[in-house]
Amino acid sequence: MGENKSKTLIKETNKNANISAKWRNLLKDIQTVFPSPWSEEGEDQIFENMFLNAIGQLNKLKHPRLYHEQKAWQGYLGDPALPDYSKCRDVKFEEHMKPLDDIIKDLVGFFNGMPNWNHPQTMCNVVPPPNTASIIGSTLCNVFSPNILEGEYSWNIAKTEIESGAMLSQLIGWDPHKSGGIYTFGGTGCYFYAIKLALTRVLGKETRFTGIREDAQILVSREGHFIKQNCSDWIGLGMNNVREISVDEHNRIDINALKEVMEECKKEGKPIAMIVCTMGTTDAFAIDPIGKIRELIDNYENAKGYPKPLLYADAVIGWSWLSFRNYDFNKNPLQFSKKAIKILEHNFNQIKPLHHADAIGIDFHKTGWAPYNCSFFIVKDYNNLDEKLSRPMPAYLQDRTPYNPFKFTLETSRTGAYSMAGWATLKLFGQEGYQVMLGRIIEVSIFFRQLLEKDENLVCVNPDNYGFVTLFRVYPKHINAKEQFEKELNDPKYREELKAYNLLQQRIANKLFSMLRDRKQKLEGWENPPYTSFTSGYRPPKYAPNEKDNHYLIYALKAFPMSPNSNEISMQIVRNYVLKARDLVIEELIKENKLREKDKFDDIKTGVKETTIKNWWGENEYIPLKYLIPSKNISIEETLKTNPFCAHLNDNQLKTIIDNGKIESINAGSIICNEGDIADKVYLILSGKVKVYKNDIDGNEKELATLEKGNMFGEMALFDKGFRSASVKCIEPSQLMIFEGDKFLELLLG
């Protein structure tokens, strides 16, 4: 650089040093929107007040606790309406700064309508309200931003991670000096770590350089969480390398099926990288028999001489039952009810063998009552994790403290907020706090299940399984729910009824949600439904364990009393609202059905769509009326009278027609007439069902209609003796009344 040029630069710099430059003034403003770096009473007070102010504004979105005022029962903050996302993309990145107070107001505003997880009537999933210690622990981290990339950037905060590992190890029954782990981004993060460790352990460390070149297998039950797909996909192994194992009637992995699949893998020369034990799921609370799976692995030789598979326990839901490790179930110091203590002991005994795992995923933001994200991935042998996954030190980081997990973690920046929240929760609750939180859920669920038991139209569908949720179904008033569900669960003859009542559950769930959230659907006097939820796949029926068609799985309504404030009254309200929603839905369906009938005869395509109350998320599915109102045992005369051909006949004429008919019982599968046959008879269905179909050129049946009790077919014979335009087959054992076409016509015309 020439001398002249460098002189100009210095001059420039000097010019920039102008202390009254506009940017310097603006910088002063900007400095005020950061917390002060010094302890200064005035400045600190401003920051503290802002915080208080923001929390104060947030708290105002909650509804007042005035029990005579209905709003106390609303399980959301502020206003219930659906958010309008349509304008979000028009928002501009402004040119100038905005006052901090305005930003705080806007920020608080975003919470308008949010579910209030702490509310007693918010019971839609395993979404717990975070406890105060965990809120403060994680929020403090946002003030000084510890990064547990390494000890240098997190200093003492890193202790909360190591100490959490020690506390959790003791709970599991591992040696806290040998085991340990890290906080990560959710149950998904834990699973991701587990797969990485498994692949490295089984296929060898060199795969970290060469990539995965073997179709290593991951074995997990079909009830295992869908992250089996996310994680195998994102890690590059491929979703096809996940093998789903069938489950027993309690949704636990079927050990014999697992054994068979393990042998299959060996025969195919595919090493198993990891077997996942699902230790608690949101709906089914399935807990796999981990001890037996450990035995299988210990006695298994992996294909091609590879090391043994990793045993990963996805215990993100089930882990907190371990807090009963030191509880004396006989003395029962917390005085749980007799029924509850049995259940608590049973749940603890299922989770107790968790120590058989090599690695475990634990979520505090689920059954730990801490904020998102707060998951701990823990391994029995911490040195092995470090040794297997460590990478060389990057040039810009130094080993300035003995704690540097970034060498093996996926994340580079890793907030201390997860760790402070988890640690704070463990310390705050202690074992006893968790015992109370879990014991309360069981006591409340027992009460709710008693309510279900007492009501003829309600049935609990997970009666032997007490986790975080009660799953239940509701039926029309004329139906005994327990008997009906028993048939739907066990008898393939009731497959269509299962489907119809599945749709009813779905509509009731939708109704409750829209009564809660859609101002147009709010019902006077019933403005505050609980925020419950619904599943369209709790389990397959017993006769079809591999059912793939979603319509024929068991649907259920769900209530998760996760809030420490949900109590027996909350459950009573759930029951009352569910029955109310059932009545409203059936009323709506009756109206819809009437319009459908009208459409059929008028051939005017108006009707259903206009009368159906539309939900934000789409239309409800149709449910035939016969499932919703009691079927009258109507006589053949009445059946005939409902038919447009016979509606004009008096009782004598009807009797004559019936005397001329012949009743025949026909087996399911029998063909009544074939396309092309001479059409000389008319049929009235007295019971059962028939299918009307045509064969295409390849001989495949193409269904045109299903007809049932009261329907008539073959009326072609009333006009002339043409040929049948379609074939008809019985699909259920049926009774038909058969008339000769000529005679029938003569009697009709009188």
Ligand X SMILES: Cc1ncc(COP(=O)(O)O)c(C=O)c1O
Choose between 195 and 646: whose C-beta lies nearer to ligand X: 195
Separation of CA 219 from chain center: 22
Residue 711's nearest CA partner among 688, 694, 731 is 688
699: left (phi over 0), alpha (psi -120 to 50) or beta: left
Residues lying near ligand X in the complex (CB under 6 A) are found at 186-188, 225, 227, 278, 281-282, 314, 316-317, 363, 375
CB of 157 to ligand X, least distance (A): 22
Cβ count near 172 (within 10 Å): 24
C-alpha–C-alpha distance, residues 684 and 713, integer Å: 7
Give me 222's structure tokens: 């079909």
- The beta-carbon contacts of 377-380 under 8 Å, at least 24 apart in sequence, are 377/181, 377/182, 377/183, 377/184, 377/189, 377/190, 377/193, 377/194, 378/165, 378/168, 378/169, 378/172, 378/179, 378/180, 378/181, 379/179, 379/180, 379/181, 379/197, 380/174, 380/178, 380/179, 380/355
Choose between 285 and 513: whose C-beta lies nearer to ligand X: 285
CB of 319 to ligand X, least distance (A): 10
Choose between 377 and 429: whose C-beta lies nearer to ligand X: 377
Choose between 187 and 271: whose C-beta lies nearer to ligand X: 187
Choose between 227 and 310: whose C-beta lies nearer to ligand X: 227
CB of 374 to ligand X, least distance (A): 9
CB of 43 to ligand X, least distance (A): 38
Residue 462's nearest CA partner among 254, 247, 280, 284 is 284
CB of 670 to ligand X, least distance (A): 48
Choose between 35 and 115: whose C-beta lies nearer to ligand X: 115
Residue 198's nearest CA partner among 356, 307, 287 is 307
CB of 181 to ligand X, least distance (A): 15
CB of 279 to ligand X, least distance (A): 8
Choose between 130 and 271: whose C-beta lies nearer to ligand X: 130
CB of 186 to ligand X, least distance (A): 3
Choose between 562 and 649: whose C-beta lies nearer to ligand X: 562
CB of 363 to ligand X, least distance (A): 5
Q: What angle do CA 489, 494, 495 make, to 5 degrees?
A: 85
CB of 198 to ligand X, least distance (A): 16
Choose between 358 and 592: whose C-beta lies nearer to ligand X: 358
C-alpha–C-alpha distance, residues 441 and 566, integer Å: 9
Choose between 282 and 409: whose C-beta lies nearer to ligand X: 282
CB of 317 to ligand X, least distance (A): 5
282 contacts 219 by C-beta, under 8 angstroms? no
CB of 310 to ligand X, least distance (A): 16
Residue 696's nearest CA partner among 684, 704, 688 is 704
CB of 471 to ligand X, least distance (A): 15
Burial of 719 (0-12, 13-18, 19+ CB in 10 A): exposed
C-alpha–C-alpha distance, residues 632 and 642, integer Å: 13
Q: CB neighbours of 337 closer than 8 A, spacing ≥ 6?
A: 443, 446
Which residues are paired to 221 by β-bridges?
245
Choose between 362 and 692: whose C-beta lies nearer to ligand X: 362
281 contacts 225 by C-beta, under 8 angstroms? yes
Q: Where are the alpha helices (DSSP H) in 310-415?
A: 338-351, 364-367, 382-389
Give me 387's structure tokens: 């040794």
Choose between 232 and 528: whose C-beta lies nearer to ligand X: 232
Give the end-to-end CA distance of the chain in Å, rounded to a whole number: 118
Give the neighbor-by-neighbor strand order of the sheet with 681-687. 662-666, 734-740, 681-687, 712-713
Q: Which backbone phi and psi does 319 adopt, to 5 degrees?
A: -60, -35
3-state DSSP percent of the chain in helix, strand and coil, to 5 = 45, 15, 40
CB of 224 to ligand X, least distance (A): 7
Q: Where are the alpha helices (DSSP H) in 116-244?
A: 132-144, 151-154, 157-172, 186-203, 207-210, 227-234
Choose between 282 and 514: whose C-beta lies nearer to ligand X: 282
C-alpha–C-alpha distance, residues 697 and 699, integer Å: 5
Give the neighbor-by-neighbor strand order of the sheet with 671-673. 671-673, 727-730, 689-695, 701-708
Q: Which residue is nearest to ligand X (CB)?
A: 187
Length of the chain: 750
Choose between 220 and 498: whose C-beta lies nearer to ligand X: 220
CB of 135 to ligand X, least distance (A): 18
Q: Which helix (H) or strand (E) holds 686?
A: strand 681-687
Choose between 120 and 371: whose C-beta lies nearer to ligand X: 371
Residue 556, classed as helix, strand or coil, is strand
Single-letter amino acid, residue 476: P
CB of 159 to ligand X, least distance (A): 24
Choose between 282 and 727: whose C-beta lies nearer to ligand X: 282
